[in-house]
Chains A and B, each alone.
Chain A
Amino acid sequence: MAEKARTKRVLVAKPGLDGHDRGAKVVARALRDAGMEVIYLGLHQTPEQIVQAAVDEDVDVVGLSILSGAHMTVFPRVLEMLRERGASDIKVVGGGIIPDEDVAELEREGVARLFTPGTSTADIVDFIRSI
Chain B
Amino acid sequence: MDTEHYEEEKRRWLEETYHSSPEEGGPFVTVSSEPVEPLYGPGEVAGLNYERDLGFPGEFPYTRGVRSSMYRGRTWTMRQFAGFGTAAETNRRYHFLLERGTTGLSVAFDMPTIMGRDSDDAMSEGEVGRCGVAIDSVVDMQRLFDGIPLDRITTSMTTNAPASILLAFYLVTGERQGARFDQVGGTIQNDILKEYIAQKSWIFPPRPSMRIITDIMEFCSAEVPRWNTISISGYHIREAGSTAAQELAFTLADGMAYVQAGIDAGLDVDDFAPRLSFFFNSHIDFFEEIAKYRAARRIWARVMRDRFGAGKEESLLLRFHTQTAGCSLTAPQPENNIVRTAYEGLAAVLGGTQSLHTNSMDEVLALPTEKAVEIALRTQQVIAHETGVANTIDPLAGSYFVEYLTDRLEAQANQYFDEIEAEGGVLEAIEKGYFQRRIADAAYRYQMEIEKGERVIVGVNRYAHEGESIDIELLKIDPAVEREQVEAVRSVRAERDQAKADEARAELRRRAEGTGNLMPAIIDCARAHVTIGETVNVLKEVFGEYREQPIY
Q: Verify that A and B bind, or say they do not.
A: yes
Q: Which residues of A contact B (CB under 8 A)?
A: 12, 16-22, 24-26, 28-30, 38, 40-44, 46, 67-70, 72-74, 97, 99-100, 116-118, 120-122
Contact, CB under 8 Å: A117 / B364: yes
A111, chain B: closest CB distance, angstroms = 15
Q: Report B-chain residues with C-beta under 8 Å of the C-beta of A120.
A: 450-451, 461
Contact A73 B125 (CB under 8 A): yes
10 interchain pairs, CB-CB under 8 A: A16-B127, A17-B115, A19-B200, A26-B440, A43-B200, A69-B127, A73-B125, A73-B127, A100-B470, A118-B460
- B residues 124-168 in Cβ contact with A at 8 Å: 124-127, 130-131
Given contacts A22-B239, A43-B200, contact A70 B130 (CB under 8 A): yes
Contacts of B200 in A (CB 8 A): 19-21, 43
Taking the nearest CB of chain B, how far is it from the CB of A59, in angstroms?
Answer: 16
Q: Which residues of B have CB within 8 Å of A17? A: 111-112, 114-115, 117, 123-124, 127, 201
Q: Does B241 contact A (CB under 8 A)?
A: yes
CB <8 Å contact, B127 and A29: no
What DSSP secondary structure best describes chain B's contact surface?
Answer: loop
Contact assessment for A40 and B552 in the assembled complex, using a CB-CB cutoff below 8 Å:
yes
Residues of B within 8 A of A21 (CB): 200, 240
B13, CB-defined interface residue at 8 Å:
no
Name the CB-closest residue of B to A12.
B552
SS of A interface (majority): mixed
Given contacts A116-B331, A120-B450, contact A97 B365 (CB under 8 A): yes
Task: Given A43-B550, A121-B451, answer yes or no on A29-B112 (Cβ-Cβ < 8 Å).
Answer: no
Compute how far the CA of A122 lies from the CA of B461 in the bound complex, rounded to whole angstroms: 13
Evaluate whether A26 and B447 lie within 8 angstroms (CB atoms) in the complex, with A69-B127, A69-B477 already known: yes
B199 at the interface (CB under 8 A from A): yes
A18 touches B111 (CB 8 A): yes
Given contacts A16-B111, A118-B330, 7 further A-B contacts (CB under 8 A): A26-B443, A28-B552, A29-B440, A40-B552, A69-B366, A69-B367, A118-B457
Cβ–Cβ contact B131 & A68, under 8 A: yes
Let me know if B49 is at the binding interface, CB within 8 A. Answer: no
Nearest-Cβ distance from residue B210 to partner chain A, whole angstroms = 19
- Name the B residues within 8 Å of A68 (CB-CB): 111, 127, 130-131
- A69 B550 Cβ-Cβ under 8 A: no
Check A29–B444 contact: CB distance below 8 A.
yes
Judging by beta carbons under 8 Å apart, are A70 and B111 in contact? yes
Q: Tell me how far the C-beta of A57 lies from the nearest C-beta in chain B, rounded to whole angstroms.
A: 14
Q: Is B265 an interface residue (CB 8 A)?
A: no
* B474 located at the interface, meaning its Cβ lies under 8 Å from any Cβ of chain A in the complex: yes
At the interface, yes or no: B332 with Cβ under 8 Å from chain A?
yes
- Min Cβ gap B198→A in Å is 9
Q: Which of A19, A25, A117 touches B443 (beta carbons < 8 Å)?
A: A25
Residues of B90-143 at the interface with A, using a CB-CB cut-off of 8 Å, are 111-112, 114-115, 117, 123-127, 130-131
- B126 & A73 in contact (Cβ 8 Å cutoff): yes
Q: Which residues of B contact A29 (CB under 8 A)?
A: 440, 444, 552
Partner of A72, one of B124, B126, B331, B443: B126
Report the bound CA distance from A73 to B457 in whole Å: 32
Give B441-478 interface residues, CB cut-off 8 Å to A.
443-444, 447, 450-451, 457, 460-461, 469-470, 474, 477
Note all chain A residues with C-beta closer than 8 A to B130. Answer: 68-70
When the two chains form their complex, are residues A41 and B550 in contact, meaning their CB atoms are under 8 A apart? yes
Residues of A within 8 A of B418 (CB): none
A residues near B550, Cβ cutoff 8 Å: 40-43
User: 1/0 contact trace for B354-384 toward A, CB 8 Å?
Assistant: 0000000000111100000000000000000
